[in-house]
């Protein structure tokens, strides 16, 4: 098992190096797209600032606390899209290119996550990290609190990544198409920019279990600012770990159901 994990990690790292070398050929185009992704974070900051300027903001959450949630959401989405682009993956399934990849002696899920992401989404990670650093400083967050939230954040990112891959594969198996999942993910990512409490109990359940976009943004922020206790933290971690396992095995099953649309 350890040999298999090591082999897959080496394949992932090697594929990233090759993809970044390809990107370097078109540096200007890449820089432009990096800028576009960074602008999504700027737009979020502007929107939140306007909300707090013209109203009392979000009940129970200060301006900088909401900025922390928004920036974590941008970092999360940037990492997720870096590894999976539903539109690109669907296109490779339609034209038969994916067939060539999954026949190789590597985990097919790792293969899909290593080759069919949007590398320019690192722009969201960079801008999100800058805003997060500023907001965390202004909110007086300690280094210890940041360290404590990393596990919830990391598991939340993995959970959302596996969920998006699962839904993409399911959409393709059912409809022989999955490109529209990119639009769904883009729209849903907007909801993760704000405290889930504003959506009420149905929204909390939807964005925690049904569409787990709040796991890596809202709950880590709630932990940092003392809005959830240790029991809730352990429950969130258990939910995230359970979801990752379910989504992973669902992806393995759906991969077996996959049939090329071309070739």
* pLDDT per residue rounded down to tens, the chain (263 residues): 666 777 778 888 888 887 777 777 777 777 887 888 888 888 888 999 999 988 887 888 999 999 999 999 999 999 999 998 888 888 887 777 777 777 667 788 888 888 888 888 888 999 999 999 999 999 988 888 888 889 999 999 999 999 999 988 888 888 777 767 777 777 777 888 888 888 888 888 888 888 888 888 899 999 898 888 888 888 999 999 999 999 999 998 988 877 766 54
- Tell me what pLDDT residue 143 has: 84
A 10 A CB-CB count for 126 gives: 17
3-state secondary structure of 263: coil
pLDDT at residue 166, as a whole number: 92
Q: What is the four-CA torsion angle of 57, 59, 64, 70, rounded to 10 degrees? A: -80
Helix or strand run (H / E) with residue 206: none
Residue 125, pLDDT score: 92
Q: What pLDDT, on the 0 to 100 scale, is given for residue 187?
A: 74
The confidence score (pLDDT) of residue 25 equals 75
pLDDT in the model for residue 133: 93
Given a contact cutoff of 8 angstroms between Cβ atoms, the answer to whether 242 and 167 are in contact is no
Contact by Cβ (8 Å): 132, 75 = yes
Per-residue buried b or exposed e for 163-201, using 16+ beta carbons within 10 Å of the residue's own CB: bbbbbbbbbbbeeeebbebbebbeebbebbbbbbbeeee
| Dist. CA 241–CA 30, nearest whole Å | 35
pLDDT of residue 261: 61
> pTM of the predicted model, to two decimals?
0.87
């Amino acid at each position: 098992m350890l040999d298999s994990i090591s082999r897959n990690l080496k394949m992932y790292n090697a594929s990233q190096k090759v993809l970044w070398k390809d990107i370097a050929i078109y540096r200007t185009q890449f820089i432009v797209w990096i800028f576009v992704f960074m602008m999504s974070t700027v737009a979020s900051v502007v929107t939140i600032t306007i909300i707090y300027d013209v109203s009392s903001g979000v009940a129970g959450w200060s301006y900088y606390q909401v900025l922390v949630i928004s920036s974590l959401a941008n970092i999360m989405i940037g990492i997720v899209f870096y590894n999976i682009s539903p539109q690109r993956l669907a296109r490779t399934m339609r034209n038969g290119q994916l067939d060539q990849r999954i026949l190789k002696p590597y985990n097919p899920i790792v293969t899909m996550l290593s080759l069919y992401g949007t590398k320019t989404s690192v722009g969201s990670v960079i801008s999100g990290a800058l805003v997060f650093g500023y907001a965390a400083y202004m909110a007086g967050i300690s280094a210890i609190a940041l360290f404590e939230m990393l596990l919830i954040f990391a598991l939340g990112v993995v959970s959302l990544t596996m969920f998006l891959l699962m839904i993409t594969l399911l959409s393709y198996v059912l409809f022989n198409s999955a490109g529209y999942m990119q639009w769904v993910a883009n729209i849903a990512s907007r909801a993760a920019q704000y405290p889930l409490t504003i959506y009420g109990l149905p929204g909390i359940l939807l964005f925690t279990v049904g569409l787990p976009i709040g796991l890596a943004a809202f709950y880590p922020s709630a932990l940092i600012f003392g809005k959830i206790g240790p029991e809730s933290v352990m429950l969130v971690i258990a939910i995230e770990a359970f979801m990752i396992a379910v989504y992973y095995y669902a992806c393995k099953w759906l991969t077996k159901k996959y049939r090329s649309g071309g070739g």
